[in-house]
Amino acid sequence: MIDGLSIAVEDIRFTYPGGVEAIQGVTLSVSPGEAVAIVGENGAGKTTLVRQFNGLLKPTSGRVLVGEWDTREHSVATLARRVGYAFQNPDEQLFERTVRAEVAFGPKNLGFSSEDILASVHEALERVGLADAADQHPYDLPLSQRRLLALAATLAMQTPIVILDEPTTGQDAPSVARIGGIVDSLRQEGRTVITITHDLDFCAEHFPRVMVMASGRVLVDGPAREVLAQSDTLAEAEVDPPQLVRLARSLKLTNMPLTPEEFVTAWQRSRGE
Amino acid sequence: MTIPFSLYAGRESGLHPVHPLTRLTIAGFVLIAALLIPWTLGTYALFAGLLLPLAAWRRVAGLLLRAVFRFVFPFALSLFLIQGLFWTGGTPVVSLGPLSLKAEGLAFAAAMSGRILLIVSSFLLLAMTTRPDALMLALVQKGLPDQIAYIVLTTMQIVPRFQAKANTILDAQRSRGLETEGSLLRRIRGLLPLAIPLVLGSIVDIEERAIALEARAFSRQGEKTSLVDLPDSTFQRAFRWMLLGLTVALTVARLVSVLR
Amino acid sequence: MISVHNLSYKYPGYSRLVLNDISLEVQRGEFVGIVGPNGAGKSSLCYALAGFIPHFYCGSLKGTVEVAGKIIADTTLGELAGSVGMVVQNPFNQITGARFTVLEEVAFGLENLGIPRDQIVPRVEETLALVGLQGFEERSPFALSGGQQQRLAIASVIAMRPDVLILDEPTSQLDPVGTRDVFAALHSLTQTGMTTVVLVEHKLEWIASFATRVIAMVDAKILADGNPLEVLVDPHIQEVGVGATRYTQAARLAQRRGLIPQDRALPVTLKDTQRFFEEPSHD
């Protein structure tokens, strides 16, 4: 059991060395154990924002607190005890000779005992479904499985906060379902989960809180059901609502369903009246 | 547009298009002249009488002078001091206590500086006024294999991309708790997690880029066209032959004088 | 336009067939979507259609592939490039690096095809507009974002006006707006009747809306081939990992709960699903 941690972002701005201001005043807080999805079109500032959470980028002004740690006062490697960040492109990190060693790299860096390393590697590989591939070379796996391996490498670090950068990109339906299941189990354990995604259907089913970004600002932030129903705001951020929300709207249902079950129930109810 | 590793200043007027080969020939001629001209004054005269007016014509004179000042001046200064002061057995010109500047040393420094000035500024002028792709195109039209031109051009662009990739890998590994600052041992331990994805990734990159090249008909046999027109003229062609002749004449003359 | 007979293929050094006895005919102007779980052989089929198998990747190949009137095995990649365009998955490595600007990058393929100079720029401009990259002409291709590079890669191949266009997950880096632009561009190309599109994609809703035909691949074989609205609701296809749109999932659930007659055909897109739920059930 790992308790989640909070993140507090206090009026941050961020300007890249080239002069582009990618974050133009963002304030938000994430409570321990929350699951938040950040959506918005390419270039809205989503990645720039979440890279502040583990100190890869430090705010130009304002501050970011992870638990009580100010990110400006800690190295990325130190913040890695609290924030696990699963990158999009696995090939920009995989380097060990076996899948097992690859997953053990993070826990080793964090100074886990050898029993803890063994246990967390095993658990992480089970979670992503790669336990049978533990002795293979990472590059013998196809890209979609290398993505899952990189995710396992992050999960094994047992961090209170987990960041998933576009976890469903290029994944087929069974893998998307598996990743959704991992998000759900992390939430059940009470860990804080933050994702960036273009997959609004995935977002609706697994993230109770949704934040919409556009041009370096947060347009709206709240419960998924409310945010995903705001078609004007979503349109402004160039985001398509989830399929079931669009369907519910076209059938003039008043309840905003997030899962097929919710949709059928809402539809049944609307017919009953 | 900025071209990495290129000094191209992008001030092409287009009024008097000079074929890249003409520029290359001028640069080549000046380079050979710099090495062979026996008179010190000649090198400076060539700079002031040929390269500077050409630079002014292409509107890069200021840029060229500034670059020359930055690259050549410190070098020349040290030459003058070292050769002047430590020339053995020369004629002192100025003396200050035990130190004295010798005339022979100064003359040698002046000659060397003149050559360096010419070599550096002929290269700078070429680089500032000529897009590397235009130069490569001109050479391909003269029979340089396509592949060599591609390697030159792509390398200029891929190296910065390589740096960006290295940074991303470093970010990913730091996010996995890899401490990259601190003791030497720590840094050395941090090398493999950085180098392996970079090397493996580059192999994949090369393979995929080769596919992209094939998809763009790079290996197609037959006539190719070019987006860029490189206007040439009989005058320019004659001028290039003349410079080439002059270069050969200069070389022969120098050889003869040395052999005597 | 495409004719594949009993195609089987193994990558060198591997014993597993990635393509197992594939046969397939595609007519000019079709928009074929290929779906299937990861590892089903979708990318390999793309490579085989574009000639990268066997000309770039060796390995053991059986059967014949003919595309745009050319026998793939007997035609060099250089000759094929004008007739078959290929966009591979990773956009970052499809920038050739042979040129310095977006305009020149798109023009590069046209130069190699020997297109006269005065036709190059108009064709490049037209293509950049098609994929939503107008205004980026003078930028360095390497300075673009992943999504923009993906559009550029697609533009670079479309500009060459191949008879057959093969795209392997061309929208992976794109947001919904970018995805819509790309699908609309491909749709407009097939509408001329001149271009045939073969597209691998996980985004089923888009496939259902634009493709005229869907091929589902599993374990190196073609499992189903036909009308998107029929193939994509096939429960068998879903079980093997193709998945289903949320529309189909909701409709199936309603049927399973007995709220909608079993004989009503399952929908795939928003429109059919709306109709599916609005039609009165005779109970």
Instruction: Choose the closest CB to B201 out of A80, A83, A91.
Output: A91
In this structure, is residue C208 part of a structural domain? Answer: yes
Closest listed residue to residue C42, CA positions, set A231, A172, B194: A172
- The torsion region of residue A235 among left (phi > 0), alpha (psi -120 to 50) and beta comes to alpha
Co-location of B88 and B48 in the same domain: yes
A238 phi and psi angles, rounded to 5 deg: 60, 40
For residue A262, pLDDT over 90 is answered with yes
Q: Which of A8-17, A208-217, A263-272 has the lowest mean pLDDT?
A: A263-272
* pLDDT tens column, C158-172: 999 999 999 999 988
Residue C170 counted as domain residue = yes
Q: What is the pLDDT of residue C158?
A: 94
Query: What ipTM, to 2 d.p.?
Result: 0.91
Query: Taking residues C133-147, what's their average pLDDT?
Result: 89
- Domain boundaries, position B50: 20-139+232-259
Q: Cα dist. A208→A66, A67, A247, B224 in Å?
A: 21, 21, 20, 57
Shortest distance, CA B211 to any CA of chain C (angstroms): 8
> B49 and B66 share a domain?
yes
Angle between helices A243-250 and A260-272 (to 10 degrees): 10
| More confident: A71 or A254 | A71
A251 CB neighbours in chain C (<8 A) are 274, 277-278
Report, as ranges of residue numbers, the positions in chain B whose pLDDT lies below 50. Answer: none
Do C112 and B150 make contact, defined as CB atoms within 8 angstroms? no
pLDDT tens by residue, C188-231: 999 988 899 999 999 999 999 999 999 999 999 999 999 998 99
Answer yes or no: is C274 within a domain: yes
DSSP string, chain C: -EEEEEEEEE-TT--S-SEEEEEEEE-TT-EEEEE--TTSSHHHHHHHHHTHHHHTS-SEEEEEEEETTEEGGGS-HHHHTTTEEEE-S-GGGG--SSSSSHHHHHHHHHHHTT--HHHHHHHHHHHHHHTT-TT-TTS-GGGS-HHHHHHHHHHHHHTT--SEEEEESTTTT--HHHHHHHHHHHHHHHHTTS-EEEEE-S-HHHHHHH-SEEEEEETTEEEEEE-HHHHTT-HHHIIIII---HHHHHHHHHHHTTSS-TTSPPP-SHHHHHHHHHSPP--
Nearest CA in chain B to C122: B227
Which structural domain range is residue C173 located in? 1-83+162-234
Whether B35 is covered by a domain: the verdict is yes
One domain for residues B174 and B241: no
Task: Using CB atoms, list chains with 3+ pairs below 8 Å to chain C.
Answer: A, B
Number of domain units in chain B: 2
**Chain A within 8 Å of B6 (Cβ-Cβ)?**
no
Distance, CA of C71 to CA of C250 (rounded, Å) = 45
> What residues does A162 pair with on adjacent strands?
A84, A193
Instruction: Specify if B222 maps to a domain.
Output: no
* Whether C223 and C251 share a structural domain: no
For A146-184, letters b (16+ CB in 10 Å) and e give bbbbbbbbbbbbbbbbbbbbbbbbbbbbbbbbbbbebbe
C67 within a domain of the structure (yes/no):
yes
Q: Give the count of domains, chain C.
A: 3
Same domain, B84 and B180: no
User: Whole-model pTM?
Assistant: 0.85
Residues C4 and C140 in one domain: no
**Residue B204: predicted pLDDT:** 83
* Partners of residue B94 on adjacent β-strands: B101
Say how far apart CA C4 and CA B252 lie, in whole Å: 67
Q: B160 CB near a chain C CB, below 8 Å?
A: yes
Edge-to-edge strand list for the sheet holding A69-70:
A21-30, A7-15, A61-66, A69-70
Residue C239 has what pLDDT? 85
A109: nearest CB among B168, B178, B204:
B178
Considering the domain architecture, whether residues C169 and C42 belong to the same structural domain is answered as yes
Q: Do A172 and C36 touch (CB under 8 A)?
A: yes
Q: Is the pLDDT of residue C52 over 90?
A: yes
Are B127 and B237 part of one and the same domain?
Answer: yes
Residue B43 lies in a domain: yes
| CB < 8 Å to C267, chain A | none
Burial C49-61 (b: 16+ CB within 10 A, else e): bbbbbbbebeeeb
C37 plus C142 within the same structural domain: no
> A127 to chain C nearest CA, in Å?
18
What residues contact B168, with CB distance under 8 A and at least 6 apart?
Answer: A87, A89, A92
pLDDT at C105 over 60: yes
In a domain, B3, yes or no: no
Residues C70 and C131 in one domain: no
Whether residue B157 sits in one domain with residue B83: no
- CB–CB of A224/A209 below 8 Å? yes
Subunits in contact with chain A (3 or more CB pairs closer than 8 Å): B, C
Nearest by Cα to B9 from B56, B46, B60: B60
Distance CA B104, CA B83 (A): 8
C16 and C27 in a common domain: yes
Q: Which of C50, C88, C113 sits opposite B208 (nearest CB)?
A: C88
Residues C79 and C170 in one domain: yes
- Kindly state whether A140 is in contact with chain C, defined as any CB-CB distance less than 8 angstroms: no
C73-98: average pLDDT: 89
pLDDT of residue B10: 67
Token pair belonging to C130: 């098609």
Binding-face residues of B in 140-169 toward A, CB within 8 A: 165, 168-169
Could you say which of C143, C160, C177 is where a domain stops?
C160
Residue of A nearest to B201 (CA): A91
